[in-house]
Structure 1
Amino acid sequence: MDKKLLLVSAFMAGATWTIQAQDLVLSEGQYYTDETQTTPYTGRYTEFYEDGMLKMELYLKDGRPEGTYVIYYPDGKIAEVRSYYHGIFHGEWRTYNEHGKLIGLASYKEGQKDGPWRIWSDEGKLLYEMFYTNGKKSGVWRSWDEEGNLLSEERQEEE
């Protein structure tokens, strides 16, 4: 299924800002410059809320996300920061609450869950700690209540 998205790129020519908009076509996870889907888009991609505030920004290379992908709350604060390499998750995925506190941290390697995953309450208390190795559960998984009391601790079986 194709979905048209608005691409807004700004560049500076001397002291003058020029904003150009063009439609992109999203098909099977890849962004194209036209309906024929023959030219994958490379460049900065941005979306805005109706009031003009930045909603998200990322860089696309050959039609796929590359590098840092940032999603914003309507007030301009960062909601999520994701890392991509060749169109797949690679690196950290951080989630923040509306007050700017880190509430989620996930790790990926070449598209697979790999490394620590942690979830905090809005008050900053660690609630969950999980580990993955090459997409599989690993290590000891723990959960805590809002007061910091350990609720569960379970060693993951090697698959």
Structure 2
Amino acid sequence: MCMVAGSLLGADVLGQTSVERTYFENGMLRSTQYVAAGALHFIHYYENGKVREMGSYRNGSPDGPWRQFDASGALTARVRFQKGRPVGESDLYLADRNLSGKLYYQEGALRKAEMRNALGELVATKDY
């Protein structure tokens, strides 16, 4: 392993996976990325060490599951991408970790949105 301009580059014991890590000035991990199965996978962190976002790119476009978190580590959004476009259901969460809404995508276009209150009850829907 070696340090390169604030990044730590390394390889697994078989030499098949290269991992790049970058760090905040305070020494905390800022990001990790590696290539596996033809996709660039990443994890971005807050300065407090909690995960901020994780996902992957394939051919330069978002692909596969993505997750976003708040600074306390609570999940705020979950989205699935295919060839750069959101597909299927996406979930949005409140700070208390309860589901606050759902977005439904078809062929990359938003088709329906749902909002829920703090009790999880459906309070609004909109078709697109």
Interval containing the TM-score (normalised by the shorter chain): 0.7 to 0.9
Which protein has the larger Cα radius of gyration, Structure 1 or Structure 2?
A: 1
**CA distance, structure 1, for counterparts of residue 57 and residue 30 of structure 2:** 18
Deviations 1:3-33 (A, max 9, x none): xx754314699xxxxxxxxxxxxxxxxxxxx
Q: 2:20 aligns with which of 37, 40, 45?
A: 45
2:25 is equivalent to residue 91 of structure 1: no
Alignment size in residue pairs: 120
Letter of the 1:79 counterpart:
R
Q: 2:95 aligns with which of 122, 142, 146?
A: 122
Q: 1:142 aligns with which of 114, 117, 125?
A: 114
TM-score by length of 1: 0.64
Q: 1:6 to 1:66 in 2, by over 3 A?
A: farther
Deviation, structure 1 residue 141:
1.8
Runs of 5+ in structure 2 lacking a partner?
A: none
Q: Percent identity at matched positions?
A: 21
TM-score by length of 2: 0.78
**CA distance, structure 1, for counterparts of residue 42 and residue 11 of structure 2:** 19
1:1-20 equivalent positions in 2, closer than 5 A: 6-10=6-10
**CA distance, structure 1, for counterparts of residue 25 and residue 73 of structure 2:** 22
RMSD of aligned residue pairs (Cα, Å): 2.7
Deviation, structure 1 residue 144:
1.5
8 Å CA contact 2:8, 2:21 repeated in 1: yes
**Corresponding residue number in structure 2 for 1:152:** 124
Deviation, structure 1 residue 110:
0.7
